[in-house]
Amino acid sequence: MATGKGTASGKDVGGQPEGFDMEQLMKAFATKKKDTHLDWKYFDFKLSEENRLRGSDNWEMWKTAIWVALMAIGYRDGDSAKLSHIDEAKLAAAVVANVKEAPMAVVTGLTKGTEMIKVLERSYGAKGIDQKMDLWTQLQFAKWDPKKQSALDHVVDFKNLVRRCNEVDMPVNAGQQVTMFINSIRDHDGDWKGRMRGMLRQHPTMTVNQVYDDFVAEFRGKEKDSKKGSGNSYNAKQNRRDKPVWNKEGQPLCFICGEYGYMAKDCPKRRNDSSDERSKRGAECEASFIPEGLQDLYRTDGKTF
């Protein structure tokens, strides 16, 4: 009668080959079942302290990093059911080692790495999408209220919204910035909107900063007029000649002679007078017309504006 186990004498018992041991074979199969589905010796997912998961603001970056690391050791979409207990434990350890305190509280009590990632996705992925949509909505429907903020304040707030969109991987290109900024000016200031749209059609290479600059220069004098009264407003208009920094043809205003077509550094009147005192006075004159907070948009050293 076959016993299922090879005899010490080496005879072929029950049709089994010499030295065959069924018990050892069953143990080998059991060990194989406990083996890993992924090749963990190549797993490389160890983030620096500042790049560890902290919340919705860096969730997308973190998720991309861990999935790239998993794919490098053989993971593919739909493989979660194939992972062994060892795979899940190793993945869980990797998650715990690369999250900060708040996300750690979210996954506390879980032992499977795939479950941890799913819970983190529900906690931070949706918030990240909501944050992006909220920022985009704010940017798209931003409106300037001249009774509550200055023209320069509106530019600063708008640029901050653009910066925050870029920080959450939702870049806003130059064309979108210009379109949404012009739309942020209400219809009762339609003269500037119409003039700027005409300039953009004629000179499509105008930069976003030039649009911001023209807007501030256009309304800065009006803000002074409303604050200082008619007497001082006349002087303010005379100082800036009531002209925007750029005309309809896209030509810059010279702050020395008040003519369009060149910057103050290229003014013919300035070239005709070579004295240092005249040059210094011209530079001071130009600087006095630059709206506060926008000095970095001007160049007097010959560089491109």
CB 57 within 8 A of CB 135: no
Residue 227 tokens read as: 């604050």
- Please count the other Cβ atoms lying within 10 Å of the Cβ belonging to residue 26: 10
Is a pLDDT exceeding 50 seen at residue 114? yes
Confirm whether 33 is domain-assigned.
no
Greater model confidence, 158 or 77: 158
CA pair distance 6, 8, nearest whole angstrom: 7
Beta bridge partners of 177: none
Is a pLDDT exceeding 90 seen at residue 92? yes
Tracing tokens 């810059």 back to the chain, one arrives at 252
* Least confident piece of the model among 105-114, 153-162, 223-232: 223-232
Give the pLDDT confidence of 27-56 residue by residue, as tens digits. 554 454 457 789 899 999 999 999 999 988
Mean pLDDT value across residues 136-158 = 91
Would you state the pLDDT for residue 239? 47
Confirm whether 205 is domain-assigned.
yes
Length of the chain in terms of residues written: 305
Which residue segment(s) compose the domain that 79 sits in? 40-133
pTM (2 decimals)? Answer: 0.42
- C-alpha R_g of the chain: 35
- Is residue 242 domain-shared with residue 287, that is, in the same domain? no
63 pLDDT band, cuts 50/70/90, is very high
CB 291 within 8 A of CB 220: yes
- Is residue 125 domain-shared with residue 208, that is, in the same domain? no
Total domains in the chain come to: 3
Confirm whether 73 is domain-assigned.
yes
Give the pLDDT confidence of 256-278 residue by residue, as tens digits. 677 777 766 677 775 554 445 54
Cα–Cα nearest to 282, from 295, 297, 272: 272
Long-range contacts of 142-151 (CB under 8 A, 24+ apart): 142/180, 142/184, 143/184, 143/186, 144/184, 144/185, 144/186, 144/189, 145/186, 146/189, 146/219, 146/223, 150/220, 150/223, 151/215, 151/216, 151/218, 151/219, 151/220, 151/223
Confirm whether 263 is domain-assigned.
yes
Is a pLDDT exceeding 90 seen at residue 295? no
CA pair distance 24, 171, nearest whole angstrom: 61
- Is residue 65 domain-shared with residue 117, that is, in the same domain? yes
